[in-house]
Amino acid sequence: MNDTITRNALANAAAQGIGIGHLTPGQAWAAHHLAMPPERLTRPLASHIAALLENVERLARRRFFDGVAKDDAEEMIKRAYDEDNPMFLRGPIMETLNDGMQEFFPGLKPSGVDDEGREVFNLADLAQALGASEEDLLAHAEKMGITDQLRTTPPNPLH
């Protein structure tokens, strides 16, 4: 964690889902979300500031997790990749998914990145790694309503 809390540092911490100074990742996101001036975030936090940040963070958590059944992995994955949700909630899920991909599909490598820098994979490579046909994957994508996420143009090269 960085120690200096500035507006830019707070914005970066919120975007990355990390803490800053003495603020937890959730507090950093809440403070940024509220456009709180950095001078109000000194250590120790005033009790009313700590309570406000806690309430905003709790509301974000409730919105993120409410209505998801405990065993509904697909919905949690969908929420983890929904950029409208705070990164401090999305990040740990995305990290777990990435770890799982590396463990269970060590040979599967991205073919490039999209315009936002996210890794993209070739459909044929995915089908081979999963032991499925490309047609089955396309049908599954259509069933899930995610065909809009499939690319037909070449990805940006990996750096």
Instruction: For residue range 32-73, list pLDDT tens digits in order.
Output: 999 999 999 999 999 999 999 999 999 999 999 999 998 999
Give the pLDDT confidence of 98-136 residue by residue, as tens digits.
899 889 988 888 888 888 777 888 888 889 988 999 999
Cis peptide before 110 (omega within 30 of 0): no
Phi, psi of 72 (to 5 degrees): -90, 75
Contacts 24+ apart (CB under 8 A), 12-16: 14/86, 14/87, 14/88, 15/87, 16/87, 16/91
Question: Does the pTM of the predicted model rise above 0.85?
Answer: no
Q: What's the pLDDT at 159?
A: 66
- pLDDT on residue 12: 96
- Are 120 and 107 a contacting pair, CB within 8 Å? no
